[in-house]
Structure 1
């Protein structure tokens, strides 16, 4: 294990141990930072068990220049007490101010994910799954599963393309399920027995839609309560039952991925349109009763509404959660990150409807047509991920789920040409895969904010307000205080932190870095 000395300016020197098995660094001319290469001969692992001694702080650091979840220990006696020295920011943690609990963090099992993992030798494919789900990986606990096809498939398809099969006699899982999803879901479950899976559908069979095709503007034919709407509800139930028959149980369901885009005539890939009122009526007349009749009540299956961008969230959900007939089936609110702002909409939803949890269910970089879809070693994208997670958590989100677990070097495959970036991508010309800076940045949340962790209050008591600095604070189920900070500045910043120990202490956070500080509370 490689060991480095880092001198923390004006404070103390600490010994930082890098990854348990070090990163095999690959630089690229387009990258701000580096990626870590995994092949059959070498792949880094992450050993991040925090120290259990209550007189030490455990620190993990990921930065643009050199570190990936590097671990260090500091004895409380070595902390520099804030004796009036000027700090850039003064933070006060209130561990008695308890807020929401974490459900979990994870990514999505898509066809593209399985297609790419299948390119690897079996041993390396297993290592990749361990990187996401194993104890020396990101330890994912919540994952999305695409119901049928999405744009991240090699073609558009459904589970029943037989016209007017309202009894769904021809409903059947396809080879894509077995080879690209189920195969790897089972491997993940072997590593994480309490993995929470939720399903999301992009489009029903085309014969149920007004458009008669998978993409573009299209809604369900007829009206809520009709045979078309009930057939789609039963279609979703049959999916849950088909996976359950294979030993894979679902924790949650969203009725439709991004219902707003199915009202867009120019939408290029799989979609189904719903307004908020249409979704309300679908849930109370069709989907809710169908799920309940099949044994999927709220105790067994968490229905999450919306599953779209933050900008329209409250307008869409209010009619559903304010209707008792629909609301009785709903457990949570799902949202996506693509507007990159409006996090205050989450707080608005929480304060208006505190009985529903909030979960970020899709995010990816490289989605804009004006930017490179996939760039090697992009540190700014790692910062974007960390910033969005922190903003969501500080506005009552209970977790965050990434999009494709794995893509190829083009950001696909994607039948509609909607290529994007991913935390891991596979080399198409050699048996190896690469872990982007985003992978390690996200580990600061997925590894340390375990299910049941509780957000606690913190405030800026003095100093500057800096939009390049994001902070969130949590208490773990084992009573560890967890402080996570993103510093996007090109310079280091000095914080005075009160709440970890009897007295405030000074700590310097490196430029372009993500840092987690953990201390057991007495």
Structure 2
């Protein structure tokens, strides 16, 4: 692996085709980059701007490649240095060869001159929509175990890749409250039968030895405060109708108040570990517990049941315990439940006073019109919507881990752009890191992740999905506002875009091309001129300028 190979002179074909030449160029380029991983020093090519360390690619035979990191080297992306007024930065990732490839160019005049364009856009920063809450991923039991399976230097580089100023700068982190499917066993914090007073409530080794230490290290690296929020998968089995962690089962009505008290116990226990929660969700995927034979941790709720519990138990209990300022999100399930679920819960004036937002998962988004997001926003504009979970490799016919899948980057980026263009305020990924099989997962429901850990070689691999997240999280800051980006005339169906105004006044435009065709694009910017861009096939871009 990785070293440039000598070109054989025997058995040379009589004619070298253009395809042969292109394959050779690509191989040499990738081999040269991979040599960096084994070099004793690193020399950053000029084309990589901003002094960033480039990706060291490795091809696993999929549609694109991963970037390889180990205990001594990992690609990064330092904070961009904005060019003078009249110029812009463009960061490009594509299927063929680039990850965060940085270039700098000038705005063209108001007319694009000789450009023969197929797409013409106009940026309007005065047309403003929702504010951005941020971007992040989940500190699951599996994530923490995988990170800690690496050598300490590699652990640091992995966490820096997500949370440092030279990484993606995540500002949101989700935590499983008790066990979830991405645990290696089933558990809650009060598994003693009949303990309604929760006298045996205690954090588990998964918290104390894995998640909490990893979260503290992420916090120490982050240039911004990290907003943590927790989600429960199930109450203790003895509180449920089926006396089990999974399957068809709901919370017993007489356990509504003990379950609310459980939330307070969790907040207090994490506070004792110097971790304060920014937010909570009421239940991970509440409909799962109404599916007979559901295979991993779950607990069923209807919207009416959730409304009653929030109004009569959880809301008042949090407030009485001094946690009234903790953000509370309802639903935490699929877009298909909109707008009916929020209508059922928020139409109740008592319940609605305790709720701040609506949490969403992405797993059926491709089948559900995003107009449901607009409808929900129009009905409840004072309540934010936040995507709180997404991952690839969940379908019955899908491979769990696909190292180098470009299609999975496109799925991430397309869903983020669609969500943001329909009033969603941010996007939180699922597991930050999984092993080579997409686990561990006690229920054998393994999936993919933006980072895959190879414990045997002390390496980790950044899948294309990692860069999909970074094209947003690195350049679209908390507090940014989505602004108008309008296309004129017919638009290619595989071209997607969105734009933001950051709190410091910088503008970020994200463009995804899912087609195999190159697209010429102009973006008219008031008082600046025109961005004249060549959007290559199967590529993702972020333009940044003052």
Q: Deviations over 1:121-162 (max 9, x none)?
A: 112111111111001111100110000000000011000111
Deviation at 1:235, TM superposition (A): 0.6
2:364 alignment partner in structure 1: 339
Q: Deviations over 1:52-104 (max 9, x none)?
A: 52221111111111111111111236x69424854211111111011111111
5+ residue gaps, structure 2, are: 1-42
2:441 alignment partner in structure 1: 414
1:368 alignment partner in structure 2: 395
Contact 1:359 1:397 in 2 (8 A): yes
Aligned ranges for residues 175-190 of structure 1 at < 5 Å?
Answer: 175-190=205-220
Aligned ranges for residues 480-519 of structure 1 at < 5 Å?
Answer: 480-499=506-525, 501-519=527-545
Aligned ranges for residues 130-169 of structure 1 at < 5 Å?
Answer: 130-169=160-199
CA distance in structure 2 between the aligned counterparts of 1:348 and 1:153, rounded to whole angstroms: 36
Deviation at 1:477, TM superposition (A): 0.7
Query: Which of 309, 312, 336 lines up with 2:334 in the alignment?
Result: 309
2:72 alignment partner in structure 1: 41
Deviation at 1:50, TM superposition (A): 4.0
Contact 1:276 1:316 in 2 (8 A): yes
Query: Which of 472, 475, 479 lines up with 1:452 in the alignment?
Result: 479
2:500 corresponds to 1:474: yes
2:161 corresponds to 1:119: no
2:251 corresponds to 1:213: no
2:461 alignment partner in structure 1: 434
CA distance in structure 2 between the aligned counterparts of 1:427 and 1:85, rounded to whole angstroms: 46
Question: Structure 2-normalised TM-score?
Answer: 0.89
Q: Deviations over 1:27-66 (max 9, x none)?
A: 112x111111111232211124141522211111111111
Deviation at 1:2, TM superposition (A): 3.7
1:400 alignment partner in structure 2: 427
**Structure showing greater Rg:** 2
2:232 alignment partner in structure 1: 201
CA distance in structure 2 between the aligned counterparts of 1:90 and 1:22, rounded to whole angstroms: 32
Contact 2:138 2:174 in 1 (8 A): yes
Contact 2:115 2:520 in 1 (8 A): no
1:9 alignment partner in structure 2: none
Contact 2:48 2:54 in 1 (8 A): no
Match of 1:62, SS state, is strand
State how many pairs are aligned: 501
CA distance in structure 1 between the aligned counterparts of 2:186 and 2:446, rounded to whole angstroms: 16
Q: State the Cα RMSD in Å.
A: 1.5
CA distance in structure 2 between the aligned counterparts of 1:237 and 1:333, rounded to whole angstroms: 21
CA distance in structure 1 between the aligned counterparts of 2:201 and 2:48, rounded to whole angstroms: 55
Question: Structure 1-normalised TM-score?
Answer: 0.93
5+ residue gaps, structure 1, are: 5-14
CA distance in structure 1 between the aligned counterparts of 2:389 and 2:57, rounded to whole angstroms: 29
CA distance in structure 1 between the aligned counterparts of 2:526 and 2:433, rounded to whole angstroms: 38
2:345 corresponds to 1:320: yes
Match of 1:126, SS state, is helix
